[in-house]
Amino acid sequence: MRRLWPWSDDDEVADELAGEAAAAAASPDAEPVVPDPNAAAFFDVDNTLIRGASIYHFARGLAARKLFTFRDLAMFALGQVSFRVRGAENDDHISTAREAALAFVAGRSVDELVSLCEEIYDDKMADRIWHGTRSLALKHLDAGQQVWLVTATPVELARIISHRLGLTGALGTVAETEDGVYTGRLVGHLLHGPAKAGAVRALARKEGLDLSRCSAYSDSYNDLPMLTTVGHPHAVNPDGDLRDHAREHGWPIHDFRTGRKVTMVALPVAAGTGALVGGVAAGVALRRHHRGH
């Protein structure tokens, strides 16, 4: 019998040839991603990537660990119920929630907060991610583009959400620290409205991004500054004002909700111990407030 490889008696050489032959015959199922370093996608978090307000879910996690008082959770719940029913942000509720969060972190270490964020994301937030929005983010990653979260949520929590979803990174509200401990003050303002647009422009300068080639996704008309900063704005689960603006300007609209009327009617059942019980708590707190006056 004719030998194809006269030197095949040498096992080491034969193994090497077998490996080379296998590699030569291999064909990837898909072409590798070609990096696209000049383009990126920016995603809002609350009601765009995650159902409801991330800071409220964080507060629920703190309350479950007895690190938040009943009254604190009630304040968060009041804003959350309004947010879920009306599908729009309320600046007063957002400010109240952030102030409560700052009061909570004052005097705590960064490491402690990061550990809490990791636990609470897995426990309270992971199953609230809009799969449709995550798919949009993955398409940008598959195209070799960076994907950043841009949110008023504390940057520590935003980074964990980004990391868990395999995204590039996160831009969020930064709380001041000294020697690894929170002071209870912000560095600048909340990353909200025009501040988001400023953060996107700053990151573009840092990363060498061409904003005309970038995309942005949000549910809120309040994020119009960020949306108009990029060349490809998208509305996701939009509030009424943003939906009207998107239609007028021909922006893509992505809605992953089951329907506004259904959401409103089903809220008490779907909310369970979240918004429903929190709403009752808010009512109790408000009654106490009025009695006190």
Q: Which residues are catalytic?
A: 44, 46
Cα→Cα distances 143→1, 30, 128, Å: 52, 12, 25
* 79 three-class SS: helix
| Short-list 198, 193, 159, CA closest to 175 | 159
Burial class (CB in 10 A: 0-12, 13-18, 19+), 232: middle
42 with 170: CB under 8 angstroms? no
* 147 three-class SS: strand
Cα→Cα distances 204→42, 98, 217, 253, Å: 11, 27, 16, 25
